[in-house]
Amino acid sequence: MSTVLDTIIDGVRLDLSARQAVLTQADLERLADQAPPALDGHAALSMPGLSLIAEVKRASPSKGALADIPDPAALAAAYQSGGASVISVLTEERRFGGSLRDLDAVREAVTVPVLRKDFMVSDYQIWEARAHGADLVLLIVAALTDAELVHLHHLAGQLGMTALVEVHDETETQRAIDAGAVVIGVNARNLKTLEIHPDTFSRLSPLVPPGVLRIAESGITGPADAARYAAQGADAVLVGESLVRGGDAAAGARALLAAAHDTSLR
């Protein structure tokens, strides 16, 4: 039986084939070589205290449409002014309403590192990310074989990018560690069922070796959740839905970061 993740990846592969028919990987590699060097995403997430990865996110498979976001550049600039260390940009089109155009717009608008968040299954997408100015890429363990994970993680590093390696359970956490991940994102949402399990981070975080950054993802509805994850040892939180729906993106970002230092919320 196909899972939600399987269906998403089927669409990603179709869209990828269409792009490959227009622009060859060799062309992408030349564009990537001409791009400014990648910013250090790992360093940006290693600062003292809780860091914020704020997301440009129009829609999701679980919630449908979230926000129109007519100006992704303005949203990203607001996130940066609110203290976000990294800006995440959804580029998957079918379920998330994103695009590489959004990535281009955000890259032009901010000076902090930018994460291309998509379902990466090929070398082409890694080169594509770098050609469009991404400094980090998402690698979802559940979507890749061990060999694919190791290969794409290595390629991202070769291009100067940081890989955020996403896990959902104990087995995936060990696979990420074995692949050499230095930034591990623990997603509370099971991408195969779309269910949220709030205890996922507290369960998996102790399995992550010292020195590897731990990012809490999904289900962060406000400052109290950010404070809880900070107390559990998260180095950063990745937040999209609550920020794009909140109205004032800069204020929302500041509130999440302030909460990490407010012990009354934990």
More confident residue, 226 or 68: 226
**3 is written with which tokens?**
């899972």
pLDDT band for position 169 (cuts 50, 70, 90): very high
Active site residues: 55, 57, 117, 166, 187, 217-218
Domains of the chain: 4-265 (3.20.20.70)
Q: Is the pLDDT of residue 262 over 80?
A: no
Alpha-carbon span 50 to 21, nearest angstrom: 42
For residue 69, which of 52, 87, 86, 51 has the smallest C-alpha distance?
Answer: 87
Overall average pLDDT of the 220-230 stretch:
93
More confident residue, 167 or 193: 167
The region that residue 3 occupies, defined by phi over 0 for left and psi between -120 and 50 for alpha, beta otherwise, is: beta
Q: Is the pLDDT of residue 229 over 80?
A: yes
Q: Is the pLDDT of residue 68 over 90?
A: no
pLDDT band for position 260 (cuts 50, 70, 90): confident
Question: Which residue reads 């839905």 in tokens?
Answer: 241
Question: Which residue reads 């696979």 in tokens?
Answer: 175
pLDDT over 90 percentage in the chain: 83
**15 is written with which tokens?**
């869209």
Q: What is the pLDDT of residue 266?
A: 46
Q: Which residues, including other chains, have CB under 8 Å from residue 192's CB and lie 6 or more apart?
A: 3, 4, 5, 6, 142
Alpha-carbon span 198 to 205, nearest angstrom: 13
Q: Is the pLDDT of residue 199 over 80?
A: yes
Inter-residue contact 91 to 12 (CB < 8 Å): no
The per-residue pLDDT for range 31-58, each reduced to its tens digit, is 999 999 999 999 999 999 999 999 999 9
More confident residue, 59 or 39: 39
Q: List 243's β-bridge partners, or say none.
A: none
Q: Is the pLDDT of residue 261 over 80?
A: no
A 10 A CB-CB count for 105 gives 19
Q: What is the pLDDT of residue 46?
A: 96
Overall average pLDDT of the 181-207 stretch:
93
Average pLDDT in the chain:
94
Strands 59-60 and 64-65 turn out to be: antiparallel
Overall average pLDDT of the 6-10 stretch:
94
The per-residue pLDDT for range 110-157, each reduced to its tens digit, is 999 999 999 999 999 999 999 999 999 999 999 999 999 999 999 999
